């Protein structure tokens, strides 16, 4: 089973990054809508505990984190590429910066009370309370600390004027041609554009506004709905793909077959337990067995994750 299955929900900004990546590659995919707060039993049944959004499933292979997802989609369809030749390091590093630094500014700006009031205007108070409590839990225990709104507002003009200058120099995309860097910035600005309180933080920069239109214009590709139960059944019937043809390297001495846990280090640090079957330059793979999903391989980026 080689269908691409994205587990996501409409308002998730990293899900928007994934949807745009799928659109850019012109891929067809199945869409599983997941809850925006815990519990998410079907999703965590597949991942073994990782709870962040989105997740890419291909049969019995589960890809966590959009940075790794981009690499998997690149294998699925090489062209158009996320990593233009000669700029691989630059665009991947820029994307990692955007997914952490720029993202944390946006979270802080969107979560300031004036913006939250508009964003949740039609949501019942208990649901808002549950959401805020869930996100407080999400940011507990990792090394990512919430940026005070005042500091985020203070630093925002620097970030945006650098992007504005970069675009005025390089043309249609951040590095001239489209790359993973564009997708890693666009989803954050898309998020800010959702409410009239935060939209002006983007709208005052004409080069950025025009560029954002171009990136969002890639669309989402063709998708059709799938239930989370069906997705679990697909995993149960499938066998994980062959491991990458790359030498197992682990600088801390972990060996193939070791029983480990893997967890993000920034936030959403819920560990996933299983057998370490692969440790490569960019990717870690854990084999685990789930009551309903059967044997699955859960894939993580090496960067930003830890093995215990
Ligand atoms: N580094 C992760 C970040 C994912 C992330 O932070 N997603 C947010 C939603 S935009 C999340 O998981 N929020 C909690 C949730 O959906 O349960 C990635 O690139 O996939």
Taking the C-alpha atoms of residue 128 and residue 101, their distance in angstroms, rounded to an integer, is 25
Residues 236 and 281 in one domain: yes
Number of the ligand 1 atom closest to the C-alpha atom of 266: 1
Dihedral of the alpha carbons of 300, 81, 95, 211, in degrees to the nearest 10: -140
Taking the C-alpha atoms of residue 188 and residue 14, their distance in angstroms, rounded to an integer, is 8
Residues 130 and 151 in one domain: yes
Tally the C-alpha atoms within 13 A of residue 124's C-alpha that lie toward its C-beta. 3
Ligand 1 neighbour 178 (Cβ under 6 A): no
Q: With a threshold of 0.95, does the pTM exceed it?
A: yes
Residues 202 and 252 in one domain: no
Residue 236's CB: how many other CB atoms inside 10 A?
Answer: 15
The alpha carbon of 137 and the centre of ligand 1 are apart by a number of angstroms equal to 13
Taking the C-alpha atoms of residue 73 and residue 97, their distance in angstroms, rounded to an integer, is 20
End position of a domain, from candidates 188, 216, 244: 216
User: How does pLDDT run along the chain (308 residues), one tens digit per residue?
Assistant: 589 999 999 999 999 999 999 999 999 999 999 999 999 999 999 999 999 999 999 999 999 999 999 999 999 999 999 999 999 999 999 999 999 999 999 999 999 989 988 988 999 999 999 999 999 999 999 999 889 999 999 999 999 999 999 999 999 999 999 999 999 999 999 999 999 999 999 999 999 999 999 999 999 999 999 999 999 999 999 999 999 999 999 999 999 999 999 999 999 999 999 999 999 999 999 999 999 999 999 999 999 999 99
CATH number for the domain including 228?
Answer: 3.40.30.110
Taking the C-alpha atoms of residue 1 and residue 53, their distance in angstroms, rounded to an integer, is 22
DSSP-assigned states of every residue in 94-152: HHHHIIIIIHHHHHHHHTSHHHHHHHTTTS-HHHHHHHHHHHHHHTSSSS--PPPHHHH
Residues 126 and 195 in one domain: yes
CATH number for the domain including 100?
Answer: 1.20.1050.10
Number of the ligand 1 atom closest to the C-alpha atom of 9: 16
Looking only at Cα atoms, what is the longest distance across the chain?
54
Residues 29 and 102 in one domain: no
Residue ranges making up the domain that contains 248: 5-80+222-307
């Amino acid at each position: 089973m080689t269908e691409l299955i994205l587990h996501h929900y409409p308002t998730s900004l990293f899900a928007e990054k994934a949807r745009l990546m799928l659109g850019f590659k012109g891929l067809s995919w199945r869409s599983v809508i997941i809850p925006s707060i815990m519990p998410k039993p079907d999703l965590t049944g597949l991942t073994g505990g990782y709870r962040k959004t989105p997740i890419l499933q291909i049969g019995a292979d589960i890809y966590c984190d959009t940075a790794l997802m981009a690499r998997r989609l690149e294998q699925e369809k090489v062209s158009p590429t996320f990593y233009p030749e000669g700029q691989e390091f630059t665009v991947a590093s820029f994307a990692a910066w955007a997914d952490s630094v720029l993202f944390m500014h946006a979270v802080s700006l969107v979560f300031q009370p004036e913006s939250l009031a508009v964003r949740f205007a039609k949501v019942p108070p208990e649901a808002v309370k549950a959401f805020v409590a869930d996100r407080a839990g999400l940011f507990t225990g990792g090394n990512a600390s919430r940026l005070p709104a005042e500091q985020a507002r203070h630093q925002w003009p620097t970030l945006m004027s650098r992007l504005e200058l970069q675009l005025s120099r390089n043309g249609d995309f951040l590095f001239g041609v489209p790359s993973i860097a564009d997708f890693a910035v666009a989803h954050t600005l898309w998020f800010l554009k959702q409410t009239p309180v935060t939209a002006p933080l983007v709208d005052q920069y004409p080069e950025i506004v025009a560029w954002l239109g171009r990136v969002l214009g890639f669309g989402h590709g063709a998708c059709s709905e799938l239930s989370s139960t069906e997705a679990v059944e697909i995993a149960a019937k499938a066998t994980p793909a062959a491991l990458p043809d790359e030498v197992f390297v682990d600088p801390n001495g972990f060996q193939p077959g070791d029983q480990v846990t893997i967890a993000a280090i920034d936030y959403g640090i819920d560990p996933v337990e299983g057998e370490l079957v692969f440790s490569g330059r960019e990717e870690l793979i854990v084999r685990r067995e789930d009551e309903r999903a059967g044997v699955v391989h859960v894939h993580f980026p090496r960067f930003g994750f830890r093995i215990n």
